[in-house]
Amino acid sequence: MSEKISRFEALEQQLELFIETTRQVGIIVSDVQPNSQAVLNKKLNEMITGLQEVDKMKSQMADISVPLEVFDYIDQGKNPNLYTKDCLEKTLAKNEQVKGKIDNLKRFKASLLVELTKVFPNEINTYRALRDDQPT
């Protein structure tokens, strides 16, 4: 487990470093000075190195699968952790729907057996004997 945590932490640190370097490049570019070219070149090289490091780490993450919907959440400015919460809420709602359908089908079966027993008592008794059902 610690191996997984360390590889995630390493990726997180590398991404944070890349983001900070990108932010610094944005600041340098927004206020260009004649003597800032060397600093800009250095920061751009740091960005390239950072991307290369992230690319090297991708093989360590090959066993990780991220649903595409998580990226939709990120694109919408939402916290990706909300994806899990929303999935659980949708699953619970769907579970309630399915449970309701199952309950309705059980009631329908019981009602149907009652009505069929009135019309076809011998056949229903045979059916119950074969199914090892007790009258409901």
pLDDT band at 135 (very low <50, low <70, confident <90, very high): low
Residues 130 and 116 both lie in one domain: yes
| One-letter amino acid for residue 56 of the chain | K
Number of H helices, E strands in the chain: 5, 0
The closest alpha carbon to 18, from 37, 38, 44, 56, belongs to 44
Q: Averaging pLDDT over each range in 33-37, 48-52, 63-67, which range is the top one? A: 48-52
* Structure confidence at residue 3 (pLDDT): 57
Place of tokens 């070219």: 37
Residues 109 and 126 both lie in one domain: yes
Residues 4 and 54 both lie in one domain: yes
Place of tokens 């229903």: 124
Residues 80 and 96 both lie in one domain: yes
* Structure confidence at residue 133 (pLDDT): 58
Residues 43 and 31 both lie in one domain: yes
Number of neighbouring beta carbons within 10 Å of residue 46 = 17
